[in-house]
Amino acid sequence: MAHEEKDQTLAELVAKWNTQKKSERAATSSRVSTEQEIITRLSELDREVPAEGAVTYETPNGFKLTVTTKLNRKIVDTDKLRELQDDIPENLRPWAFVESIKLDARGLRWLYENEPGLAAVCGEFIEEKPAKPGFKVVEV
């Protein structure tokens, strides 16, 4: 009987989580829609929101609103960039080639399981901390 009660409690928690997640998605969608309305209204008030930058507006009811916009940029063809880089003086290049090190989590887990001594050496310069658990609920 106690096991059934725990199963029921778990089922109730999952249903509660699912309801909260739906509410969260709806609230986010509503907020984003309101943000777009604010940008439109600012434009109507001759306070254009720039593609990149910030605009501030004080409302008559005591709010101070600052809308900050940014442009996400990324290099899409590094090979072509390398070919053309000599055409742009080094001190004027809006990019830099940098070396980066990326952790191979699968390889690290393999070391933990198969080469614990080597994994311990690596552990001296790798930080581990638990990530937020992921949840997925599908109604059946």
pTM of the entire structure?
0.69
DSSP the chain: -HHHHHHHHHHHHHHHHHHHHHHHHHHHHHHHHHHHHHHHHHHHTT-PPPSSEEEEEE-TTS-EEEEEE------S-HHHHHHHGGGS-GGG-S----------HHHHHHHHHH-HHHHHHHHTT----PPPPP------
Query: pLDDT class for 1, splitting at 50, 70, 90?
Result: low
pLDDT in tens, 62-99: 999 999 999 999 999 989 988 988 999 989 989 888 88
